[in-house]
């Protein structure tokens, strides 16, 4: 199934969900014993802050009638300030792989909401780097060409100090974390540029320094497109 042109991303949300499920179905039977794949929620909170600041409503609380009474060991102390903060749970889900309850690897498909404004791009970049800094192997798939000139692969590579040529969207990239060196931690990277109208490649998802699962992006994308009637 050749890659569609997602310059107009209407309908991508449906593909996004189905493609994740196809990736899950591909990975699960190919894992070694004791590894488990599942659709996991992204373990983070994010501020709904379109103006760059958290949405905070500050309220002053009058002390109650007992505020002046001597405190006992079980009494609570009054806070310096109490505010009402609006938190938005991150709704994104990803394919997670764990071993004995420890997150080992993740597959993320970038959605329009991950890159539709600077704050969203900064938040998602932080999430990608957070996986790697916690020694979680990661695959990121981005088939959305907008915004022009921006690439998460390039931003992650810049943060890691990897001297790689630019990789504009669409792309798929995989990271293996592990192997200490005197200068830090080794991060191996596989970058695969994608092209509209061309089949998608195979890409390894590392599980450790010696094992990986080959991910057939073409097969999983084709099945997802078929199920959402893009064929």
User: DSSP string of the chain?
Assistant: -PBP--SS-TTHHHHHHHHHHHHHHHHGGGSPTTEEEEEEE---EEE--TTSS--EEE------TTTTSPP-TTPPPPPS--EEE-EEE---EEEEEEETTEEEEEEEE--GGGTSSHHHHHHHHHHHHHHHHTT-EEEEEE---PSTT--HHHHHHHHHT------PSSEEEEEEEEEEETTEEEEEEEEEE--BTS---EEEEESSSS-EEEEEHHHHHHHHHHHTT--
Q: What percent of the chain stands above pLDDT 70?
A: 80
Q: Who has greater pLDDT, 213 or 75?
A: 213
Q: Who has greater pLDDT, 230 or 119?
A: 119
Tokens of 27: 């990975």
Cα 34 off chain centre by: 24
Res 167 pLDDT > 60: yes
Dist CA 42 CA 114 (whole Å): 13
Dist CA 220 CA 35 (whole Å): 21
Dist CA 213 CA 207 (whole Å): 7
User: What pTM was estimated for this model as a whole?
Assistant: 0.80
Res 200 pLDDT > 80: yes
Q: Who has greater pLDDT, 83 or 2?
A: 2
Which pLDDT score is estimated for 61?
40
Which pLDDT score is estimated for 124?
94
**Confidence category of residue 184, pLDDT binned at 50, 70, 90:** confident
Do 187 and 153 touch, CB atoms closer than 8 A? no
Provide the mean pLDDT of the chain: 85
**Torsion angle of the four alpha carbons 110, 40, 201, 35, in this order, in degrees rounded to the nearest 10:** 160
Mean pLDDT of 196-221: 97
Range of lowest pLDDT (88-92, 196-200, 202-206): 88-92
pLDDT, tens digit, 9 for 90 and up, residues 36-84: 999 987 654 333 333 333 333 334 444 444 444 444 456 677 888 766 6
Res 193 pLDDT > 90: yes
Which pLDDT score is estimated for 81?
74
**Nearest to residue 91, comparing CAs of 44, 141, 154?**
44
Mean pLDDT of 104-132: 95
Which pLDDT score is estimated for 93?
87
């Amino acid at each position: 199934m050749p890659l569609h042109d997602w310059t107009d991303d209407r309908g991508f949300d449906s593909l996004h969900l189905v493609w994740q499920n196809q990736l899950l179905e591909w990975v699960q039977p190919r894992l070694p014993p004791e590894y488990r794949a599942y659709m996991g929620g992204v373990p983070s909170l994010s501020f709904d802050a379109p103006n760059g600041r958290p949405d905070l409503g500050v309220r002053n609380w009058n002390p109650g009638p007992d505020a002046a009474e001597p405190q006992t060991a079980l009494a609570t102390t009054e806070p310096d300030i109490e505010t009402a903060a609006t938190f938005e749970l991150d709704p994104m889900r990803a394919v997670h792989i764990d071993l004995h309850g420890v997150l080992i690897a993740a597959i993320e498909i970038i959605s329009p909401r991950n890159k539709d404004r600077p704050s969203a791009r900064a938040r998602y970049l932080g999430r990608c780097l957070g996986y790697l800094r916690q020694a979680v192997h990661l695959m990121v798939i981005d088939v959305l060409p907008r915004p022009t000139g921006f690439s998460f692969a390039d931003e992650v590579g810049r943060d890691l100090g990897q001297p790689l040529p630019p990789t504009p969207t669409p792309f798929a990239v995989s990271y293996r974390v592990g192997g200490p060196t005197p200068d830090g931690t080794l991060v191996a990277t596989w970058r695969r540029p994608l092209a509209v109208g061309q089949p998608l490649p195979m890409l390894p998802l590392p599980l450790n320094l010696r094992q990986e699962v080959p991910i057939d992006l073409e097969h999983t994308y084709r099945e997802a497109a078929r199920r959402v009637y893009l064929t």
